[in-house]
Amino acid sequence: MRYELLVFDWDGTLIDSAGAVVFCIQAACRDLGLPVPDEARASHVIGLGLRDALSYAIPSLPPADYGRVAECYRKHFLARDPDIALFPGVEAMLTALRERGHILAVATGKSRAGLGRALENTGLRPLFAASRCADECAPKPAPDMLRELMEEFGVEERRTLMIGDTVHDLRMAASAGVPAVGVSYGAHPRSDLAALDPLACVDDIAELTRWLAQNA
């Protein structure tokens, strides 16, 4: 076993939610009469904390209005949350990794409440030993989530692996001194991920499962 601690992003990496996130960002903007970001701009903010996400998606939005946009977004997302599915093969992949002896964790831009709902909806809670959310510590791409998880389990950087679908995941890993794998089936284009030189960039869960079985 090369990597003891495997840390997964959530949205766009384990669950097929990137499209729903983009839709809900755009819907919230329409509801409130704000400029509606295009798909590329809305996709880029997936994985970021609330403040960073809104300052990029809606540059003209005053910080005092972040709360009302977040509440409107949450309304739209909650209506879709129970129906958002895991990518096919995710549960089997995670179960095999857990049985092999890896410690599995989540580092996400979701809130603690949002991740809690997602873990319950998908039934994956028992597979993860720990998680960090954007409302608990400095959000991506700051290294804090990974550093806290490594400290919690006493695992050093070279024995930790980050898996994610955004440049925010890969930059967080680089800042923490942790190797990373990019997945191109989520929010960010393969070219953007590859430019950050991850160990690998995979195109679907089947390829990720094979790569982890052979290299993790």
Asked if residue 141 has a cis previous peptide bond (ω within 30° of 0), the answer is yes
Nearest Cα neighbor of 106 from 209, 4, 6, 208 is 6
Which contiguous run of DSSP H or E holds residue 153? helix 144-153
CA distances from 50 to 67, 135, 145, 205 (A): 9, 9, 16, 28
Q: Which residues are known to be catalytic?
A: 9, 11
Q: Which residues of 128-146 are buried (b: 16+ CB within 10 A; e: fewer)?
A: beebbbbeeeebbbbbbbb
